Amino acid sequence: MEQYILICAYVIAGLLGLCVGSFLNVVIYRLPRKMSLAFPGSHCTSCTYKLKWYDNIPVISWLMLGGKCRKCKQPISVRYTVVETANTAFWLLSVALFWKESPLYAVVCAVACSLLICVFYIDLEHMIIFNRFSIMIAVCGLICMFYDGYTKPADHIIGALAGGGVFALLYFGAIWILKREALGFGDVKLAAAAGLLLGWQKLIFAVLIGSVVGSIVLVILNRAKKQDKDTEYPFGPFIVGGIIIALLAGEPILKWYMGMILG
């Protein structure tokens, strides 16, 4: 019976992950443009062709259409398929990693990953992190406080205070010393929400990953494009990457690291 329930959980996570991923694309495109998420229906952004149901099947329709609009033949961004595939993968991973210990925690992790995907792409394309995402991630964190079998509730509270506090110091410190913003205040709110979601131990791991990867990528971009050192880039996507890794794999990685240090 338990095995049957687990199989059902995988099937549901896979199907829902695809459908939710498709909706995330709507959010990512429309929310920054202040468009309704419900109206008009799905359409080509180039020629406004109203998509048929068979044009809107996650992943499959994009592949069958060759990544182009059925009517005007303009390219459809591969981002749509990437988001749908990534969201499905994260939902399946959440079930695989956490379902046996706590089904509710697995669901919360899946939802948090979907929210983080939205943050990743919206910040990458528009350099803005909407408060609603940080609030919803914080709500996920409040649930994790009581159903996370890996960290104590106090660790989540400390994580929120530490994440928000440290990033706030960086934000205001940069304004005071450099006379400009080194990161957006949305990053401060995201860090606080992430701390509540992860706990302070995994938050450190997430920030470390995001900072190292972000530094390497930005150095490469600056040299490749020969841009001014003051050119602004979104930092949110790098932190989001660190948060997702810490959320899904932080516990075993930290245990391995501590075991290696302590022998």
Q: What's the mean pLDDT in 40-58?
A: 85
Tell me the C-alpha distance between 263 and 61, whole Å.
52
Helices (H), 31-130: 60-64, 79-98, 103-126
The pLDDT of residue 145 is 86
Tell me the C-alpha distance between 115 and 100, whole Å.
23
Q: Which pLDDT band holds residue 227 (cuts at 50, 70, 90)?
A: low
Instruction: Assess whether pLDDT exceeds 70 at residue 81.
Output: yes
The pLDDT of residue 215 is 87
What pLDDT, in 10s, does the model give residues 143-173? Answer: 988 877 677 889 999 999 999 999 999 989 8
The pTM for the full model equals 0.93
Tell me the C-alpha distance between 76 and 74, whole Å.
7
Residues with Cβ within 8 Å of 151's Cβ and at least 6 positions away in sequence, in order, are: 198, 199, 201, 202
The pLDDT of residue 56 is 86
Give the number of other Cβ atoms within 10 Å of residue 109's Cβ: 26
Q: Which pLDDT band holds residue 229 (cuts at 50, 70, 90)?
A: low
Tell me the C-alpha distance between 48 and 89, whole Å.
30
**Can you give the residue ranges of every domain in the chain?**
1-100, 129-263
The pLDDT of residue 204 is 93
